[in-house]
Amino acid sequence: MRRILGIGLALTLLTGLSAFTPAAAQDSAVARLKAPDGFTVGLFAKGLNKPRLMTVGDDGSLYVAEEGGSSVTHLTDADGDGVAEKQDVIAQNMPLAHAVEWHDGWLYVSEGNQIERIQDADGDGKFEGREVVTTNIPAAVHHVTRTVHFGPDGKMYVSVGSSSNNDPETDPRRAAILRFNPDGSIPDDNPYAKDADKQRQPIWAEGLRNSIDFIFTADGKLWADHNGSDDLGNDIPPEKVVINVEKGKNYGWPYCYTPAQGAVPAGTVDVQDTRVPFGGSISSCDQSAPALFTDLAHSAPIGMTMYSGTAFPADYQGNIFEAYHGSWNSTQPRDCKVQMIVVKDGVPVSSEPFLTGFRDNDQQDCASAWGRPAGVAVGKKGELFVSDDQNGNVYRVVYTG
């Protein structure tokens, strides 16, 4: 594991560098955070209302979904000092706004009960265009967040969490990743596009209790995270932090889980959660596709991104950065942190902490911690943005060597 460097020492070394202003670097809100040697954390924005997932515009500015504010905010750092001097709310009345994604000139926003898109057609900074794309997703119950991303095929993918801890769903669109055309219609090549049950038509993959975020790799694979069932103890089931999601496959929930810890060996077979008799979508764990990589139970992964920039050292490039929200119901609290999952030869092989210090001590539950990372995004200059939905901050992590 790489040696961790205190932020205070790093800031002393960085005085006068253009990555961000010394005033921002020394802000007390990030004085406690720790990153590996050569990295420094700055406070990019504060005062947001439960910021979750983020996206970067063509001009390099940051767009953030504020779940607590039911809004989308545009953060602009025009002078390049590493601090957003402008925070413009560009859309309101978007209940449970959770994720934002640019596609074909529109900013798509996933909400609790629908997907909308907004547009600034004349470039005046005001998003006067607004359309509902689809309401073909279940109502927000239990796991209320929805996440939207576009794949390399130009299709719109939406993750929807379950309505319970481990009860089989009556609406097949829950605990699933759905796939739509950009206008909300059903693609002809969806695995269940012609199913007599119209609720199955948008499904791309199922058995995913709560895949809060997902990414597309350079070779077009869809990799998702996953929050497993509770009440099986502190260590079961291991948290699925990278799942290779494929067309028409089932990933086991609520019947099965992947038993391995860390990199999942080839040939691993999922095991049954004996609390839930088989029925519905699968009849055996042989029909359940295991994860690629797992971590400690109750890690609660939320946002994830693959580092596609070149500003970080070579051994960081191509790796996954994942925001662990941390436990709230484990007697052995799990840390809230940004974890780096190392990817080699196209597969995740190991992991290590990247950004820590959100808790006061290792026995503190993350529900009462100082901060709690939620979203991650790679900026145009290769920086890593991290949203914190506990205290309303967005951090900016840069490499200065």
Cα dihedral: 337, 379, 153, 374 (round 10): 20
Q: Is the dihedral of CA 154, 245, 297, 137 positive or negative?
A: positive
Q: Report domain extents, the chain.
A: 48-349+360-391
Q: Look up the pTM and report it.
A: 0.93
Structure token digits, residue 86: 């402008």
Classify residue 155 as exposed, middle or buried by CB count within 10 Å of its CB (0-12, 13-18, 19+): middle
- CB-hemisphere CA count at 13 Å for 90? 28
Please report the pLDDT score of residue 281 as a whole number: 82
Dist CA 287 CA 280 (whole Å):
12
Dist CA 96 CA 50 (whole Å):
10
In sequence order, the 6+-apart residues with CB closer than 8 A to the CB of 305 are 215, 320, 321, 376, 377, 378, 384
Please report the pLDDT score of residue 1 as a whole number: 39
CB-CB contact of 100 with 109 (8 Å) = yes
Mark the ranges of the chain whose per-residue pLDDT is less than 70: 1-27
At 24 the three-state DSSP class reads helix
CATH top-level class for 48-349+360-391?
mainly beta
Q: Is the dihedral of CA 89, 93, 98, 103 positive or negative?
A: negative
Dist CA 316 CA 330 (whole Å):
31
Structure token digits, residue 137: 């997703």
Please report the pLDDT score of residue 27 as a whole number: 67
pLDDT, tens digit, 9 for 90 and up, residues 185-224: 999 999 999 999 999 999 999 999 999 999 999 999 999 9
Dist CA 176 CA 301 (whole Å):
16
The total number of residues shown for the chain amounts to 401
The angle formed by the CA atoms of residues 322, 107 and 220, to the nearest 5 degrees, is: 50
CB-CB contact of 52 with 98 (8 Å) = yes
Please report the pLDDT score of residue 24 as a whole number: 44
In sequence order, the 6+-apart residues with CB closer than 8 A to the CB of 266 are none
Q: DSSP string covering 171-194, please?
A: STTSSEEEEE-TTSPPPTTSTTTT
* DSSP bridge pairs for 155: none
